[in-house]
Amino acid sequence: MARLDQRILKLEAQYRERVWGGQRLKAANPPIGEAWIAYGPSVVANGPNAGKTVDELIELDGAGLLGAEASARYGKRFPLLIKFLDCKDWLSVQVHPNDEQARRLVGPNEFGKTEAWFFLEAEPDARILAGVKAGTSRDALVAALRTGKVVDVAETLPIHDGDALLIPAGTLHALGPGLLLYEIQQASDTTYRAYDWDRPMSAGRKLHIEESVEVTTTDPACDLARPVVAAPTGAARAVSCDYFDLDLVRVAAGEPLASSTGGRAFHIVSVVDGRVELRSGGEAVALDCFETAIVSGAAGDYTISAAGGTARLLRATPA
């Protein structure tokens, strides 16, 4: 049986043009709203597997890349999708199905979409919509969805640098202008748009009113973690749910952080400030700000070192 011959896989970012995007991820016109930094079709940028996709390597050695527990749970499917988002304007007001709804409404092998946000930069007065206002009835929510008045029942939250928020499937939500953030979610891009700020509809930006009625709950969003703070060298849990865990990690110069996958599940490391070096089993990979790597599930022990001053990174693991 083939075995993955690489412990640390640096990934290429894949950029997506969006009408609401900005210039912080990549200078471009039309603007770039999203950088897809880790998912099944991500392309490896280093080592003996350069040019191959994560999905191809899972086919080669699923247990080696995913780890024993993640492979047992997810089989040959990479379970997460991670992005950076640059929001210059409001994103659509939207909602995502849960696992059961996704299988019923989209297809038998589909995941639902629970997601979480970690806010890297927030301009003064930056806001999001998340959940519905307390006391909103099911009938009032449905009426608002069907009449284009959903913003009237949505809860507004102010956002600051370092905030984190879990968005369970079924939660009404929208990102506002002036935000740069990290988004982690189940490996699904099923999005139902409930309202798009009166932008003209196109083939790629349709509204999904009845689907939104079907899946939107009246539950409020989970509380913001505000802000998430890690020790000078150490990790702090930012978000935890049934599908993934997310840690904010800080590493000070000259103080490497020892880490381990334990053979259980892969780690996804994304640098959000400074530069780091990952080392495992004789392999060494340097990551600049906004670069990402997968530490394979079978890698076991690895270290994270800051290359220069203190570095910050986000580390995601499947639950």
Identify the active-site residue in 7, 18, 24, 193: 193
Residue at token pair 């935000």:
179
Query: How many CB atoms are located within 10 Å of the residue 117 CB?
Result: 26
Enumerate residues 6+ apart whose C-beta is below 8 A from 241: 114, 116, 166, 168, 319
The amino acid at 316: A
Please work out, in degrees rounded to the nearest 5, the angle formed at the alpha carbon of residue 313 by the alpha carbons of 181 and 255: 160
Neighbours of 107 (CB within 10 A): 9
d(CA 280, CA 66): 16
* Rounded alpha-carbon distances, angstroms, from residue 277 to 222, 291, 313: 34, 11, 11
Tokens matching residue 219: 């539950």
Helices (H), 2-93: 54-66, 68-74
Distance CA 232, CA 129 (A): 32
Q: What is the distance between the alpha carbons of residues 196 and 18, in angstroms, rounded to a whole number? A: 13
Coil, helix or strand for 229?
coil
Residue 103 appears among annotated catalytic residues: no
Q: Tokens representing 100?
A: 């059961």
Distances from the Cα of 22 to the Cα of 28, 125, 255, angstroms: 8, 18, 35
CA distance 87 to 122: 10
Q: Identify the residue whose tokens are 């490996």.
A: 187
Pairing of strands 154-158, 32-38: unpaired
Phi first, then psi: give them for residue 99, nearest 5 degrees: -60, -45
Measured between alpha carbons, how far is 46 from 194 in angstroms, rounded to an integer? 41
Active-site residues, by number, are 193
